[in-house]
Amino acid sequence: MTASACITTPIYYVNDRPHIGHAYTTTICDVWARAARAMGTDVFFLTGTDEHGVKVEKSAAQRGIPPQQLADENAAEFKRVLATFALTNDDFIRTTQPRHVTQVQEFLRRLVKSGAVYLGTFEGWYDEGQEEYHTENRARELGYKSPISGKPLVRATEQNYYFRLSAFADRLAAHYESHPDFVRPTERRNEMLGRMRDGLQDVPITRTNFSWGIPMPDAPGHVVYVWIDALLNYVTALGLAGGDASTEGRARYWPAHFHVVGKEILWFHAVIWPALLMALELPLPRCVYAHSFWIADGQKMSKSLGNFVDLPTIERYTGVYGLDAWRWYMATQGPIAATDADFNARHFHEAYTNDLVNTVGNCPSRVGAMIGKYCGGALPPDAEAGGHWPARCATAVERWEQCMGTFDLPGAARSAMDLLRQVDAMINETEPFKLAKDPANTARLHAILNQCAQAVRVAGVLLEPFLPGRCGDLADAFGGTRREDTPWRDRAVYGAIADGTTIRKLALFPRVEATAAAPKA
């Protein structure tokens, strides 16, 4: 891991209310940001709202309010979500903020000056809902219909400023070749390579048919295309073209470690964005990570079906199961890889019960109870010097670090869960409650309990980015040292609890009745 790292979510459209899609991307970034911070990395975690464009202009007009008012209202809603879910973003960028607007204009001036942006006439297949043009080949593949809304693509002609994307084809191909992890997962990388092989056409980057956007500098009537405006948020938030007091000192966070996005917006992030950065002579992000979609009970979530898991539904889940349980489900059962994941109440309940109640909750509770009963609540000494446990814990930590390095959050969670399951297995095999009946076994009993407690503590450290609420309690109950005081190397290591330390029994995750489990509307 590098000394500093930046992770970003897409910036969310303000013409939509927050739903599971937004909550998902932001939550998995939050897990990673917390993990990287725990490892001692200086993290910058960025999210925000995408506030310009014809869709926002239209929605505001329908409600009879100025677009800025619509943007203000919905940006506040997105911010409220961050606070409600205790997400640890370091900044929240809004594309209507002056700090963003002035830098976007500065970047565009640079692009015009270098010749990467020029004035020309364009004709193409336009997806009005997505505000996106498609090449002839791609439009044919799509049956001349929007892949998102299913509405027909329209043939459109415009005099516009263009970004010379075609000029970057070779450099992009070379970058993909020399950086196999630039786009992940691999299925998505292959998809991008396939589309790039169709050829890259220059992209119109201004519009003249609406006004709710950033004015193109020195070109009256032209407004910067919302996608170009939006992509630049990743560098305007760091003040790479000036910025203001809020962005000072942030240049060190570029290039981003991870841009985490949904698969539907990967082309912009994995092709247009790196080409723009090349044109601006800025380094490229280390990895663009595209997750898949949550679907609902086997069906695609869509506004027209009205089956989006929306904020009130999410809040019902967190009300019944707690915030940590929600994060756990998002991070371990979600569509992080190349396939979609089904969101359903039964599955949520099972994951909660199996992982959190029966394992993360039960194992420390058993260990704490036995130390209470047989050792008066004080950690007994271990005459066996840990046995296999120091190595097991080291392996778990190493696997966890590797998984975090590749954004494999379920894998990282598994390495901690495996450790707890091994503790459970040792208890079942060695039966401390039987050993306790004969004083001749005291040394062995003490060693086992010490080893269990030490391993539980390490597992707790590894689970903390996923379950920040309850793992704090776990750390406290197991005589833990908190992150603020202790460097990672000394925290994520076996044997950190001193003999005699008070170990408390604790109940982390209460059982929830299956009948209460489907928090429906």
The Cα 214–Cα 94 span in angstroms is 13
* Least distance (Å) between residue 292 CB and ligand MSP: 7
Q: Which stretch binds ligand MSP (CB under 6 A): 13-21, 431-439, 441-449, 477-485?
A: 13-21
Cβ atoms of 34 and 464 within 8 Å: the answer is: yes
The Cα 92–Cα 47 span in angstroms is 5
Comparing CB distances to ligand MSP, the nearer of 35 and 256 is 256
Read off the amino acid at residue 412: A
Cβ atoms of 202 and 163 within 8 Å: the answer is: yes
Comparing CB distances to ligand MSP, the nearer of 254 and 478 is 254
* Least distance (Å) between residue 273 CB and ligand MSP: 8
By CB under 6 A, residue 13 contacts ligand MSP:
yes
Beta strand extents in 201-297 (DSSP E only): 203-204, 206-207, 223-224, 258-262, 287-291, 294-296
* Least distance (Å) between residue 165 CB and ligand MSP: 16
Element (H, E) at 254: none
* Least distance (Å) between residue 354 CB and ligand MSP: 23
* Least distance (Å) between residue 262 CB and ligand MSP: 3
Q: Please identify which residue in 7, 12, 241, 470 interacts with ligand MSP, judged by CB under 6 A.
A: 12
- For residue 101 the two structure tokens come to 């607007």
By CB under 6 A, residue 205 contacts ligand MSP:
no
By CB under 6 A, residue 50 contacts ligand MSP:
yes
Comparing CB distances to ligand MSP, the nearer of 300 and 437 is 300
Comparing CB distances to ligand MSP, the nearer of 301 and 471 is 301
By CB under 6 A, residue 231 contacts ligand MSP:
yes
- For residue 209 the two structure tokens come to 């048919």
Q: Which stretch binds ligand MSP (CB under 6 A): 29-37, 226-234, 426-434, 441-449?
A: 226-234
Comparing CB distances to ligand MSP, the nearer of 302 and 365 is 302
By CB under 6 A, residue 317 contacts ligand MSP:
no
How many residues in the shown chain lie near ligand MSP by CB under 6 A? 19
List the helix and strand counts (H, then E) for the chain.
21, 15
The DSSP code sequence of 316-361 is HHHHHH-HHHHHHHHHHHSS-SSS-EEE-HHHHHHHIIIIIIIIII
Cβ atoms of 98 and 247 within 8 Å: the answer is: no
Evaluate the CA torsion angle 280, 203, 67, 77 in order and state its sign.
negative
By CB under 6 A, residue 21 contacts ligand MSP:
yes
* Least distance (Å) between residue 284 CB and ligand MSP: 15
Comparing CB distances to ligand MSP, the nearer of 25 and 415 is 25
Question: Within 10 A of 396 (CB to CB), how many other CB atoms are there?
Answer: 26
Q: Which stretch binds ligand MSP (CB under 6 A): 146-154, 227-235, 460-468, 490-498?
A: 227-235
Comparing CB distances to ligand MSP, the nearer of 233 and 422 is 233
Comparing CB distances to ligand MSP, the nearer of 11 and 371 is 11
* Least distance (Å) between residue 247 CB and ligand MSP: 17
What burial class does residue 518 get, using C-beta atoms within 10 Å of its C-beta: 0-12 exposed, 13-18 middle, 19+ buried?
middle
Q: Among all residues, whose Cβ is closest to ligand MSP?
A: 21
Q: What is the DSSP code (8-state) at residue 512?
A: -
**Residues in 263-302 at the binding interface with ligand MSP, rule: CB under 6 A:** 265, 293-294, 301
The Cα 258–Cα 57 span in angstroms is 31
Q: Dihedral angle at the C-alpha atoms of 495, 497, 501, 507, nearest 10 degrees?
A: -110
Q: Please identify which residue in 6, 16, 32, 357 interacts with ligand MSP, judged by CB under 6 A.
A: 16
Comparing CB distances to ligand MSP, the nearer of 243 and 380 is 243
Comparing CB distances to ligand MSP, the nearer of 159 and 299 is 299
Q: Please identify which residue in 11, 360, 397, 420 interacts with ligand MSP, judged by CB under 6 A.
A: 11
Comparing CB distances to ligand MSP, the nearer of 304 and 515 is 304
Question: Within 10 A of 95 (CB to CB), how many other CB atoms are there?
Answer: 26
Comparing CB distances to ligand MSP, the nearer of 26 and 247 is 26
Comparing CB distances to ligand MSP, the nearer of 74 and 430 is 74
* Least distance (Å) between residue 251 CB and ligand MSP: 20
The Cα 100–Cα 105 span in angstroms is 9
Tell me the β-bridge partners of 11.
48
Question: Within 10 A of 184 (CB to CB), how many other CB atoms are there?
Answer: 21
* Least distance (Å) between residue 14 CB and ligand MSP: 8
* Least distance (Å) between residue 411 CB and ligand MSP: 19
Q: Please identify which residue in 5, 6, 7, 25 interacts with ligand MSP, judged by CB under 6 A.
A: 25
Bond preceding residue 67 cis, omega within 30 of 0: no
The Cα 286–Cα 328 span in angstroms is 26
By CB under 6 A, residue 188 contacts ligand MSP:
no
Please compute, for residue 412, the number of CA atoms within 13 A of its CA located in the half-sphere on the CB side: 27
Question: Within 10 A of 488 (CB to CB), how many other CB atoms are there?
Answer: 17
Note the residues at the interface with ligand MSP (CB under 6 A). 10-13, 16, 21-22, 24-25, 50, 230-231, 233, 261-262, 265, 293-294, 301
